[in-house]
DNA sequence: CTGTTAGCGCATTCAC
DNA sequence: GTGAATGCGCTAACAG
């Protein structure tokens, strides 16, 4: 079964390769009748154009890359879902790259992407990243970048984020109104825009409510080692002056906190309240003690992908300034509100 | 900034394009000195080979496709994590395609993949799929397939699965030993190998324990509509003769069940026991009433990817018969065992 | 050890 | 409206 390419179609139809090519691309200069014949044979032989030949020729791949820190995480899984849904609709292909929160890997991946393998990329930064040169290089090569969630403020590219400052504020305020006074904040990385903004909101809420912030309650966790974070929280909860609430800036830290509470037999919210940024709907469903700030992950993915495709199709970078802010939701369970 | 390609390097070095090409591929026929010069300039100019030119020429793309029903699901997210980790190690690229449990999409995607865009594919079938011609076609085009979890028994390709029958048996037995007698089984699709085998185990356990199976307790759920499944479970739990346990064959059905119990104010495991196949570790952590059968999703992904890469690199299909069976774990929480 | 030549499959000139 | 010729960037066969 010889591969069916343009040459094959052309020969069987007694046409030139170029004519067949144009017919398939529905060019205006080809007669309706010829197009019909070409389409029919193509369908019959199940012709599939070689994407690599086409990409080589056109310097376009109809492929995008998604570069994210991890995937075993509800937020990113949902975001990919959104991205893929738009990509499928637009006829684009999606390559997945995981940095595992490592700057080194992020650099290696983006460097590789300079090859022109993709037409554009969607990025959510690793927690180690503080230098953005690798991304600037990509932009300079003419490859559009759209950031989502974990953005690089200094790079002039579209960004899709959530209202982190406000959410951090609301979360802290919720805890305060529940009677908490010693609220610990678990930061995942002070390199990350999201973690910092959430913390700013938290600090502002404390201040507005005349609660003196104890710096010992703002804890820098590890971006890689969950086991260590678990121990950190255990230690935190064993302090003489135990906090009465934990505010976890990301899903993984929420999980570490739950584990720690279980280990120490602390009841939530009886002994300690926990509030976290997370998309753990199922967990929240099952445990009425959970209060979460849930990001619209699917929509973020869709939005980011939409912007990227707009850029790719208009071949313009006029969206550079764009900054879309979606709202997270503070989800308080009935039984928690009591 | 002109693009830096082989021609550019060759010109600057006063060498032929082919020499540069060979030097970069570390060919034995190039002198150490020349290689050194070539590498140096390539590094200096940050040369990135055009992957499409290379793929076109070699008929190899160093890219694989992962075709799965959904991603916002812990099992598949973890599996992708495993796949990506192996792919990154081997220098392969990973394209993601979601079928959203639709046969139509699965066909469209695999048909497209006949173009030679990828060197091989990893598949977990959609719940609608009963005809496998689209996959047979791919194989005939010489594109290796490795199935994982939701496999096509009749296709002679490597398969990575878990011990579904045994797990189903153990799950049912666990419920029986906890005193349950009216155990409902929620099937996601009777097209799926996993759902059927799990049910066989369940039926066998009932029989071995002399419990008559009530066919009305084996419930066929919707593969697409979670809202409908939620209602189905509600209806199930409102029957005069309410079941005393639910065995959910997949994560989504477990979630629907939890929702239903909450709505009806049924306590787990006081009013009803629920056991499910799921990778909802966090949920399980937070709710001691949960008993889960957890699949080694990350390992499944790694294993499947490893097999595929072995095939691709040895360029042989001698692994066709291979069938790897990994074991799921029945996770019973201390507080549940009571 | 290195250079010359000839495509991979497709899209785009430029002819007619 | 259609065909012939060219080249995208790279690899491989064949020379020398």
Shared-domain flag, residues B198 and B263: yes
B300-332 per-residue burial string, b: 16 or more CB within 10 A, e: under 16: bbbbbbbbbbbbbeeeeeeeeeeebebebebee
Shared-domain flag, residues A138 and A246: no
Distance B166 CA to D9 C1' (A): 54
Closest-lying nucleotide for A5 based on CA to C1': C9
Shared-domain flag, residues A303 and A192: no
- Return the biggest CA–CA distance within chain B: 88
- Whole domain around residue B307: which residue ranges? 63-162+297-328
Shared-domain flag, residues A152 and A90: yes
Shared-domain flag, residues B179 and B158: no
pLDDT in tens, B152-180: 999 999 999 999 999 999 999 999 999 99
Residue B57 falls within a domain, yes or no? no
Residue A21: CA atoms inside 13 Å, Cβ hemisphere, count? 9
Shared-domain flag, residues A14 and A117: no
The pTM assigned to this predicted structure is 0.94
pLDDT in tens, A233-265: 999 999 999 999 999 999 999 989 988 998 899
Residue B156's domain is classified under what CATH number? 3.40.50.2300
Shared-domain flag, residues A40 and A114: no
Residue A1 falls within a domain, yes or no? no
Closest-lying nucleotide for A54 based on CA to C1': C10
Question: For all residues of chain A together, what is the average pLDDT?
Answer: 92
Residue B234: CA atoms inside 13 Å, Cβ hemisphere, count? 12
Contact between chains at B255 and A282 (C-beta distance less than 8 A): yes
Residue A264 falls within a domain, yes or no? yes
**What is the Cα–Cα distance from B115 to B112, expressed in whole angstroms?**
6
Contact between chains at A298 and B84 (C-beta distance less than 8 A): no
What is the model's pLDDT at position A337?
38
Closest-lying nucleotide for A47 based on CA to C1': C9
Shared-domain flag, residues B168 and B289: yes
Shortest distance, CA A39 to any CA of chain B (angstroms): 16
Shared-domain flag, residues A259 and A279: yes
Shared-domain flag, residues A192 and A277: yes
Q: CA-CA distances (angstroms) from residue A6 to A34, B60, B119?
A: 15, 20, 21
Shared-domain flag, residues A244 and A304: no
The answer to whether residues B127 and B69 touch, using CB atoms and an 8 Å cutoff, is yes
Contacts of A115 in chain B (CB under 8 A): 48-51
Residue A260 falls within a domain, yes or no? yes
Locate A318 and state its tokens: 């006029």
Instruction: Report which of residues A121 and B321 the model is more confident about.
Output: A121
The answer to whether residues A253 and A276 touch, using CB atoms and an 8 Å cutoff, is yes
Residue A322 falls within a domain, yes or no? yes
Residue B54 falls within a domain, yes or no? no
pLDDT in tens, B297-311: 999 999 999 999 999
Question: For all residues of chain B together, what is the average pLDDT?
Answer: 92
Phi-psi region of B101 (alpha: psi -120 to 50; beta: other; left: phi over 0): left
**What is the Cα–Cα distance from B180 to B182, expressed in whole angstroms?**
6
Contact between chains at B80 and A96 (C-beta distance less than 8 A): yes
State how many domains chain A has: 3
Phi and psi, residue B267, nearest 5°? -90, 145
Footprint of strand C on the protein (CB under 7 A): A 3, 5-7, 17-18, 21-22, 24-25, 49-50, 53-54, 56-58; B 14-19, 22-23, 27, 29-34, 53, 56-57, 59
Best A5, A52, A287 residue to mutate vs chain B (most B CBs within 10 Å): A52
A136 has a chain B CB within 8 A of its CB: no
pLDDT in tens, A148-170: 999 999 999 999 999 999 999 99
β-strands A218-220, A183-187 pairing: parallel
Residue B55 falls within a domain, yes or no? no
Shared-domain flag, residues A275 and A171: yes
The answer to whether residues B188 and B195 touch, using CB atoms and an 8 Å cutoff, is yes
Q: What's the whole-number mean pLDDT along residues A298-317?
A: 89
Residue A55 falls within a domain, yes or no? no
State the virtual CA torsion across A171, A174, A178, A181 in degrees, nearest 10.
60
Nearest residue to A164 via CA among A191, A199, A209: A199
What is the model's pLDDT at position B146?
97
A111 has a chain B CB within 8 A of its CB: yes
**Stretches in chain B below the pLDDT threshold 50:** 336-338
Distance A173 CA to D7 C1' (A): 65
What is the model's pLDDT at position B269?
84
Q: State which nucleotides on strand D lie below 7 Å from a protein beta carbon.
A: 1-5, 7-13
Contact between chains at A72 and B78 (C-beta distance less than 8 A): yes
pLDDT in tens, B24-33: 999 998 989 9
């Amino acid at each position: 079964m010889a591969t069916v390419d343009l040459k094959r179609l052309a020969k069987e139809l007694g046409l030139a390769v170029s004519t067949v090519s144009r017919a398939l691309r529905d060019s205006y200069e080809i007669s309706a009748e010829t197009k019909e014949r070409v389409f029919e044979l193509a369908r019959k032989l199940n012709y599939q154009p070689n994407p690599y030949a086409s990409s080589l020729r056109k310097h376009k791949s109809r492929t995008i890359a998604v570069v994210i820190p991890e995937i075993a995480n509800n937020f990113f899984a949902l975001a990919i879902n959104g991205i893929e849904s738009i990509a499928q609709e637009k006829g684009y292909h999606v390559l997945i790259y995981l940095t595992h929160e490592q700057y080194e890997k992020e650099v290696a991946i983006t460097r590789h992407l300079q090859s022109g393998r993709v037409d554009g990329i969607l990025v959510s930064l690793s927690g180690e990243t503080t230098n953005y040169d690798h991304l600037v290089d990509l932009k300079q090569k003419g490859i559009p970048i759209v950031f989502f969630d974990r953005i690089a403020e200094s790079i002039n590219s579209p960004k899709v984020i959530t209202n982190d400052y406000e959410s951090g504020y609301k979360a802290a305020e919720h805890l305060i109104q529940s009677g908490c006074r010693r609220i610990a904040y678990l930061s995942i990385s002070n390199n990350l825009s999201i973690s910092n903004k959430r913390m700013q909101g938290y600090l502002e809420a404390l201040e507005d409510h005349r609660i003196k912030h104890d710096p010992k309650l703002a804890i820098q966790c590890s971006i890689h080692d969950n086991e260590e974070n678990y121990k950190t929280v255990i230690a935190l909860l064993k302090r003489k002056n135990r906090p009465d609430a934990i505010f976890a800036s990301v899903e993984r830290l929420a999980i570490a906190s739950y584990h720690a509470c279980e280990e120490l037999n602390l009841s939530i919210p009886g002994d300690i309240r926990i509030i976290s940024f997370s998309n753990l709907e199922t967990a929240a469903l099952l445990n009425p003690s959970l209060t979460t700030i849930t990001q619209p992950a699917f929509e973020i993915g869709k939005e980011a992908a939409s912007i990227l495709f707009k850029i790719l199709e208009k071949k313009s970078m006029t969206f550079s300034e764009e900054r879309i802010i979606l709202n997270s939701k503070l989800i308080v369970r009935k039984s928690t509100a009591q």
